Structures are given as C-alpha cells and as structure tokens.
Chains A and B, each alone.
Chain A
Amino acid sequence: GENVEQHPSTLSVQEGDSAVIKCTYSDSASNYFPWYKQELGKRPQLIIDIRSNVGEKKDQRIAVTLNKTAKHFSLHITETQPEDSAVYFCAARLGGGADGLTFGKGTHLIIQP
C-alpha cells in the first residue's frame, strides 16, 4: 500500500553539528509534507511543513527540502542543541486530496554534549 519510509531510525550527532533526516513516499500525487517533533510522553508538535509547489523552506535552524521527481523530502537541523533531542516524524498527505497524514516510523535524534 501507500507508505512513507524514514531513515535513519536513530541519529546521534555532536552538539553544534548538523542533522539530516530523510523520507521517501510512494504516491506521486502527494501534496503536503509536515515534520513533527515528539518528546517522550508528549504530543507531536509541528515544526515545519512544505507543500508540493515549493522546493525548500527554512525557519531559523530548521529547513526542509522536497524533490518531487525522486519523491523524497528531508529535514535539516543546523547548529544542533540539547533541546533538539527528540523523536522526529515525517508525514505526507498521500493522494493529493483531503486525506489524513501517513507518518514515517520516526527518527530518534540524540544530541551528544
């Protein structure tokens, strides 16, 4: 079926370095791609999103890139800080319509001091 693949499942980086998380999706009609951050025991929080008519979006230390041809999108976090440690989920609105989100399995980002 339609799905979203996310890699890596765990990512450990030194504080101050950059982190990159990648996702691929199967449905070329997908049109909306949000990223959520989830701290242990808490709700998912939207950190950035991108729509299919845009190739890149940036918000301070966070950026997302989208390659529609290759059907993949990536989250980039620069100058990582301890508070960036969390599980990050990519998601896609598959089908291009009014559907709910399909999520990846998550990446556990660990910022080493």
Chain B
Amino acid sequence: EAGVAQSPRYKIIEKRQSVAFWCNPISGHATLYWYQQILGQGPKLLIQFQNNGVVDDSQLPKDRFSAERLKGVDSTLKIQPAKLEDSAVYLCASSVGVYQETQYFGPGTRLLVL
C-alpha cells in the first residue's frame, strides 16, 4: 500500500514570499490533516478535512495560511505571506475516517524562511 505523498520535500523562501505544499493521502482515506512541526517540538494540528469539508481549522492562522481539498483527495496548504516563524516541517497525515483514529504521516515538507 502506497503511503502519504508530499511535495516538495524542501523549500527555501524569503519572508513575505508565498509558498504552497501538496499532499496526496493514502487511497481511500477520507480524513486528511495538516500539521506544523517546529524544530524540537511535537506536531501541531493546523487543519483537518473530512472528504472536502473542513472539520477543524481552529489553529490555522487564517490571515496568512489557507488550505483546500477540492475533490476530497489531494490537498494543498498555502502560506502568503511567509514569516520567519513559519520555518518548520509541514506534515500531512491521513486516516480512513474521522472516527478511525490511526493517522499515517507523510515525509513532510521542510520549509526555511529567510
């Protein structure tokens, strides 16, 4: 079974620039999550989708972050404009359903904002 795919793996940008990350969950997984992992910390949930609807985006900084999952499969996370403190690994995870708890993580996108 193929795992969660993410791209790009690495991205370096300057502050105030925009960046987008892509995630393809495990086939058949209805629930998709985006987490932010700052160096030395645990992952922090940014947004959760169930199919193409948002379940929870309470910790998403909506003034600069946006995410979508238009067809209920792939998802993109965008930051516009980026700040220095956005430097982190952005992890995508998926699970079979919202009440099927096991979450499988992708390899992450490592973002450095200069």
Residues in A lying within 8 Å of B, measured CB to CB: 4, 6, 32, 34, 36, 42-46, 49, 51, 89, 91, 93, 98-106
Number of A-B contacts (CB under 8 A): 58
Interface residue tally on B, bucketed by range: 20 to 34
- Inter-chain CA distance A106–B42, complex, in Å, is 6
Which of chain A's residues has its CB closest to B97's CB?
A98
Assess A99 versus B105: contact at CB under 8 Å? Given A89-B42, A106-B41. Answer: no
Which of chain A's residues has its CB closest to B92's CB?
A43
**B107 and A42 form a contact (CB under 8 A):** yes
User: Residue B91 at the A interface, CB < 8 A?
Assistant: yes
**A43 and B42 form a contact (CB under 8 A):** no
With a CB–CB cut-off of 8 A, which chain B residues contact A44? 43, 91, 105
- Inter-chain CA distance A70–B105, complex, in Å, is 30
With a CB–CB cut-off of 8 A, which chain A residues contact B106? 43
CB distance from B102 to the nearest CB of A (A): 6
Assess A34 versus B102: contact at CB under 8 Å? Given A43-B91, A99-B48, A100-B48. Answer: yes
Closest 9 CB pairs of A and B: A103-B42, A100-B45, A98-B98, A43-B105, A32-B101, A100-B48, A89-B42, A44-B105, A43-B107
Which of chain B's residues has its CB closest to A44's CB?
B105
With a CB–CB cut-off of 8 A, which chain A residues contact B14? none
**A100 and B33 form a contact (CB under 8 A):** yes
* Interface SS majority for chain A: strand
Which of chain A's residues has its CB closest to B50's CB?
A98
Which of chain A's residues has its CB closest to B33's CB?
A100
- Inter-chain CA distance A102–B33, complex, in Å, is 12
Within 8 A of A (CB), among B68-114: 91, 98-99, 101-108
Assess A99 versus B56: contact at CB under 8 Å? Given A34-B101, A44-B43, A104-B42. Answer: yes
**Which of B43, B48, B101 meets A103, CB within 8 Å?**
B43
CB distance from A34 to the nearest CB of B (A): 7
User: Residue B55 at the A interface, CB < 8 A?
Assistant: yes
Which of chain B's residues has its CB closest to A93's CB?
B101
With a CB–CB cut-off of 8 A, which chain A residues contact B107? 42-43
Assess A100 versus B108: contact at CB under 8 Å? Given A32-B101, A44-B43, A106-B42. Answer: no
